[in-house]
Structure 1
Amino acid sequence: MSIRSRVAAVATSVALASAGMLGLASPASAGATALICPSYPQLIEGSGGHKGAKISCTGGSSFFLAIRCETLDAAKYRYWHYGNWAASGGTSTTWCDLNAKVIATEPRTS
């Protein structure tokens, strides 16, 4: 995937999340109950100014939250952090490094 395609994908995710329309309903397997998550994860702030996100989903199989982080310095370095695996009804939480912000979120099943 080219850099241009990746930037477009991240920009689309951020725009949809900002509008509250980024929902998931993907089946874990054929004939299984679909994973149902809120329209977007809850952004949270931790000790020392750490930024992160959490989400609770039901149905389907286990899931985890992936967040795209961007450093606040001039380099604007971007990277992914992954939350804990959680079962249906559970919560997955993950954090960016200190001096970084969340720019995209994505609940995943694999």
Structure 2
Amino acid sequence: MNIRPRVAVVTASLALAGGAVAGFAAPASASVVEAAATPAATVPSATGGSGFTCATWRYLRGDIGHGASITCYGKSFTSYVVCHRADGIDYLRFGDRVRSGRTSTAWCDLNGEVIDAGAIPG
């Protein structure tokens, strides 16, 4: 799998969204239920101070497909997932915009696999 298309998809989407990214990568497989335990990340705010913190994203598997949820603090935010289809196409999906302290969830298509997930503050 080539990483360049993934980077291009995420970069283009972030340029449209106009925000910084707090992404947390973890391998996605059918047996993974939660991303590897890593410390929460802090993203500097536009004013120069840090204040946007996210917990590690959680891999979800349900009747409607695969997805990821994430909880962040300090600002409202939107979750995203980068998904991979069996035909080699990578694509980006966004979850709901929620307030600080809430959890946002984004889902791939029915046959898509999560390859990355994170949050966009703002």
Q: TM-score range by the shorter chain?
A: 0.7 to 0.9
Greater helix share, 1 or 2?
1
Decide whether aligned partners of structure 1 residues 52 and 7 sit closer, same or farther in structure 2, where only a CA change above 3 A counts.
Answer: closer
Larger radius of gyration: 1
1:45 to 47, 61, 77: 61
Superposed displacement of residue 106, structure 1:
1.9
Alignment of 1:32-71 (within 5 A): 34-38=51-55, 40-48=56-64, 50-59=65-74, 61-71=75-85
Q: TM-score, normalised by structure 1?
A: 0.72
Q: Does 1:17 align with 2:26?
A: yes
The letter for the 1-side match of 2:85 is T
| Structure in which a larger fraction of residues adopt strand | 2
- After superposition, the CA RMSD in angstroms is 2.9
Could you list the runs of 5+ residues in structure 1 that have no partner in the other structure? none
Q: TM-score, normalization: structure 2?
A: 0.66
State the percentage of identical aligned residues.
Answer: 30
- For 2:3 and 2:110, how far apart are their aligned partners in 1? 27
- Could you list the runs of 5+ residues in structure 2 that have no partner in the other structure? 11-22, 28-35
